[in-house]
Amino acid sequence: MAAANLIDGRAIAAQIQSELVARVAVLKSAGVIPGLAFVRVGEDPASKVYVGRKEKACAELGIVSETHLLPQAATEVELLALIAKLNATSHLHGILVQAPLPKQICESVIFSTVLPTKDVDGFHPVNVGKLMLGDHTGFRPCTPAGVVELLIRSGVKTEGAEVVVLGRGNIVGKPMAAMLCQKGQAANSTVTICHSATRDIKAHCLRADIIVAAMGVAEFLKADMVKPGAVIMDVGVNRVPDATSKTGTKLVGDVDFANVQPIAGRITPNPGGVGPMTIAMLLQNTVHAAELKIKS
């Protein structure tokens, strides 16, 4: 099948990154070099890869980043002390604590300790509240913001669309639904959130003009759950066994891509769809955080 209906997340992310170059130059001419702190706790292999990619993207754009590593057994008190230090460091405009955190650390406590003005993840309750209120002065979580940007730049109309969001997590599902149901441009959709207790997910999906799959179940969305012509955004990253690969595993999304692509109107590939957008939106949020500094 030709790739005509693919939404190229890599190309769109590259376009966003190139638009940020001029903004970084303006900041530098005002004496501000955007600074971002990463915090990683433990040795989660996926988190290592994600933070590594984010560090590289920062370096390419001229954002100075520093990564703080804490051991798997670190306590909540230790992590809170580190965040307090980063909050008080003026050359750092953004702070990102990579999730998931070890079990002994409560994520919501950590996310609400990062200063809202440095919360480039959009996870602080103040920023979550602003998103719900339709107040555009807050930071928006990177992955759902990236999905919205992909829809806009691919010319997908969200106005009046029936959207199904699969998954109700705080990082993607809930903020995704909040963004798309707002009054305004690139929103105005009728949103249904489906989750593990939804009675008939297939019936909901079959009505959808746009489906955002973000529940973390490998290849959950099958072709018989998709209305022909629907737009499919795949946020999932799942490692599954694969006897044909050297490592014995492979990564797949939440969408059964091979069978859904032929009937979808537009679809994100995986990899190369939503993933690169998460990074692009993080860079955008960090540049914005630095701009707030020269405006304040």
Where do contacts with ligand GUN occur on this chain (CB under 6 A)?
96-99, 121, 142-143, 171, 278
CB of 219 to ligand GUN, least distance (A): 20
Closer residue to ligand GUN, CB minimum distance, 5 or 47: 47
Active site residues: 54, 98, 121
Q: Which is nearer to ligand GUN, 64 or 99 (CB)?
A: 99
Q: Which is nearer to ligand GUN, 79 or 161 (CB)?
A: 79
Residue whose beta carbon is closest to ligand GUN: 99
What would the 3-class secondary structure string for the chain be? CCHHHECCHHHHHHHHHHHHHHHHHHHHHCCCCCEEEEEEECCCHHHHHHHHHHHHHHHHHCCEEEEEEECCCCCHHHHHHHHHHHHCCCCCCEEEECCCCCCCCCHHHHHCCCCHHHCCCCCCHHHHHHHHHCCCCCCCCHHHHHHHHHHHHCCCCCCCCEEEEECCCCCCHHHHHHHHHCCCCCCCCEEEEECCCCCCHHHHHHHCCEEEECCCCCCCECHHHCCCCCEEEECCCEEEECCCCCCCEEEECCECHHHHCCCCCEECCCCCCHHHHHHHHHHHHHHHHHHHHHHC
Minimum gap (Å) between residue 206 Cβ and ligand GUN: 29
Residue closer to ligand GUN by CB (options 97, 231) is 97
C-beta closer to ligand GUN: residue 139 or 220: 139
